[in-house]
Homo-oligomer: A and B are copies of this chain.
Amino acid sequence: MNPQPTSHDALEVIPLGGMGEIGKNMFAYRYGDEILVVDGGLAFPEAHQLGIDLIIPKIDYLQENAALIKGWILTHGHEDHIGSLPYIMPRLPRVPMYSAALTLGLLREKLSEFGIKEADTDLREVEIDAQVKIGQHFVVDFFRITHSIPDNMGYVLTTPVGKVVHTGDFKIDRTPTDGKLSQLDRIEKAGDEGVLLLISDSTNAERPGWSISEAEVAENMEELIKAARGRVFITTFASQTHRVQNIIKSSEKLGRRVVMEGRSMLKYAQVSQQLGYMEFKDPLVTSDEVGSMQDSQVLYICTGSQGQPMSVLSRLAFGNHAKIALKRGDTVILSSSPIPGNEEAVNTVINRLYEIGVDVLYPPNQKVHASGHGSREEQLHILNLARPKYFLPWHGEPRHQINHARLAQTATRPPQRTLVAKNGDIVRLTPDDFKVVGTVPAGAVYVDGLGVGDIGDDIIMDRMSMSQEGVLIITAVLHPTPHIELVSRGFIRSNRELENQIRKVALEAVEQGTRDKKRLEDIRDDMYGAVRRFVRKVTGRNPVLIPLLVD
């Protein structure tokens, strides 16, 4: 379906990521000849997306309409909201990009890693509750809303057709780490004035009640640190800035020096500290300086909460960290929950830690983690404040979007219409209508090694086949005397008899084809077919078969 021509009585919301998935959040608003872009996040691959490092959104629509882009706003500094920008920004025009200080600080770090010059960007730092006019038709009123990182923003977007409230990622933490409460009055005020559309975070639409405050997690963690006799190791997401801050506070209070281990952990902490979002009295010590300190005087904060193979915690658990070896008496706290798909990796790490004999503490038996996203009561509270005419559940898989949609029907004034949109949908909004009117290209662009977009699903399918059955290469050398050479990887343990049989089957096909004076391609196909049937019959397997003919 092609986009219909854009008229001046409608606002279009065009999600390029973050609908039907948790990850690579990005969407565009279009009114007439003006486009406003929101975020540019990345997603991590699922298990079946073999060998992919990360996934960024397809931005063909923005590239085709590059001249219309008037501005870009970023809601906060997490990877699923800014992680694609180093890949995307160079392919789009330099436009004003607005966000709060920490978000831009984290982005600058990222851009400099990619060698992108500040001069090629137009980063504009704004206060957390600033008003920004973008183009002729967009007025953005930012507001603070709590999440697991400081400087997290939602906004009210005023357009010629009406107001849009976008929560951004949020939880409603009533005792936030930095004491800065969500500016929910902004949503309520917009609701009083009339909200045409609410776009709200669906992540935890299946969790009843109200989420746990970071303050409660901090208290529980402090109790556990206090109870520990030896060294303490805590892993959490590096990007959980509030959590990391609380751990540092507790450590200082309990007389433990903090050691940070892991590149991403250090990066977030450095940027946050430089910009005044993280405080600590002691300078952080490095693990080299720990030597002279007693076990009870040190606490490590490290990467590896998802069981990533090269992370600090994994290396500790498998006993191959260059400098640190775990021992009985150590306490390890996993202040995190596994993201779906990572359960097995995390489970393996936990089992290894038990085998070493350290004390291992983790949810749910220990209350040492809280989600950064609000549960159903918080989602309902937002709906009741905004009282939107139309509703777009966002930042969720279908199960989350649909449960959020159903929840909206229980609001004091339910929306007149809710759409469960997909990435690429053109959601057209007028004061009296709200529907999907077309689609733009959208989807996943795979990043693998240095390549962006040079891996497609066909390549992934080949990887999948080889991962299950291996590969068998049959080279038929025709001259001077036809003979067959076999090489395999990941197929089967070396087996002379089977190899001889396969050679025989292949050679027969080749000789028959030669006698029949077939074309080389046909001989190759015959050999392929004969070997494939034979291997399947004898081994019950279907390795990826690669027939080569050398004439």
Contact = CB atoms under 8 A, between A and B. Distances in A.
Size class of A's contact patch?
35 or more
Nearest to A364: B206
A329 interface: no
A388 to B, nearest CB: 22
A460 B546 CA distance: 19
A462 interface: yes
How many identical subunits does the complex contain?
Answer: 2
Interface stretch (A32-40, A46-54, A242-250, A254-262): A46-54
Nearest to A471: B471
A292 interface: no
Contact of A351 (B354, B398, B473, B548): B398
Contacts of A466: 463, 466-467, 470-471, 489-490
B464 A467 contact: yes
Identify whether the interface residues of A are mostly helix, strand, loop, or mixed: mixed
A184 B470 CA distance: 51
Given A467-B464, A473-B546, A539-B449, A47 B344 contact: yes
A491 B485 CA distance: 23
A311 B275 CA distance: 53
B344 A546 contact: no
A411 interface: no
Contacts of A350: 399
Nearest to A206: B365
A45 B541 CA distance: 17
Interface stretch (A61-69, A133-141, A450-458): A450-458
Contacts of A341: 343-344
A355 interface: yes
Contact of A340 (B206, B343, B451, B548): B343
A176 to B, nearest CB: 28
Nearest to A365: B206
B208 A469 contact: no
A487 interface: yes
Residue of A47, A463, A493 with highest tally of chain B CB at under 10 A: A463
Interface string A460-496: 1011111111110101010000000101011111010
A181 interface: no
A462 B487 contact: no
A339 to B, nearest CB: 10
A402 B354 contact: yes
A485 B548 contact: yes
B351 A490 contact: no
Contacts of A490: 50-51, 459-460, 462-463, 465-466
Q: Which 7 A-B pairs have the closest CB atoms?
A: A449-B540, A467-B467, A450-B540, A462-B490, A463-B490, A51-B468, A449-B541
